[in-house]
Amino acid sequence: MDALEKRIRREGRVIGNDILKVDSFLNHQVDADFMQEIGQEFHRLYEKEGITKVLTIEASGIAPALMCALAFHVPCIFAKKSGSANMGKDVYTSMVHSYTYDRDYTIGVNRSYLTNTDRVLIIDDFMAKGKAVEGLIGIVRQAGASLAGVGICIEKGFQNGGKELRDKGVRVESLAVIERMQDGKIEFRH
């Protein structure tokens, strides 16, 4: 997505060779209109897939997932991280390893909201090693729902998450894929 690459070049801050901060428009301050365009782009990519639910994880996945759900006119579900109160017992859960925080956490989705008649699109803001998406796929499988694919705003192509998922036959559409970051410069994959 050309507009996203331009925005990353203009506002992204590269820290070391690994961290990209885009919190001026994507995941702290959110450009609502631009996020709607991102949601519409995911819709364009998956519009023939009969999507019935968009699934993400709190917190920074919510904005792109909600705008995607709006474009499809379907519900958006955000998996909650453990520690969330009032989740109830009837919950699908997965373990996710966070490399950012170097810890495991549990995510959960109430069983009422995903069933074996659902066709699910998973959305997230970033993908690096893909552990969050793997956790969400685990929840889709537990529900007996079918997975249409994954939509990512920014994929770190120099980490393995996207490759591993594609090797397993999962459709992954990333609106911007970073090939490498070095000396503050960003190179995109095309």
- Most distant pair of Cα atoms in the chain: their distance: 48
**Chain centroid to CA 100:** 16
Residue 112 is a binding residue for a copy of itself (CB under 8 A): yes
How many CB atoms within 10 Å of residue 103? 9
Query: Cα angle at 31 between 170 and 96, to 5 degrees?
Result: 35
Question: Would you count residue 182 as binding a copy of itself (CB under 8 A)?
Answer: no
* Whole-angstrom distance, CA of residue 73 vs CA of residue 96: 29
Minimum separation from the CB atom of position 77 to a copy of itself (A): 5
Q: Which stretch binds a copy of itself (CB under 8 A): 30-38, 125-133, 137-145, 164-172?
A: 30-38
The sign of the torsion formed by the CA atoms of 6, 16, 164, 167 equals positive
Q: Rule CB under 8 A: is residue 110 a binding residue for a copy of itself? A: yes
Is residue 21 involved in binding a copy of itself (CB under 8 A)? yes
**49 near a copy of itself, rule: CB under 8 A:** no
- Binding to a copy of itself by residue 101, rule CB under 8 A? yes
Which of 4, 35, 140, 147 contacts a copy of itself by CB under 8 A?
35
Interface with a copy of itself (CB under 8 A), residue from 6, 50, 75, 115:
75
Rg of the chain taking only CA atoms, in angstroms: 16
CA pseudo-torsion sign 77, 79, 84, 85 = positive
The footprint of a copy of itself (CB under 8 A) covers 19, 21, 23-25, 28-33, 35-36, 54, 58-60, 62-63, 66-67, 69-70, 72-78, 80, 83, 85-86, 100-101, 109-110, 112-113
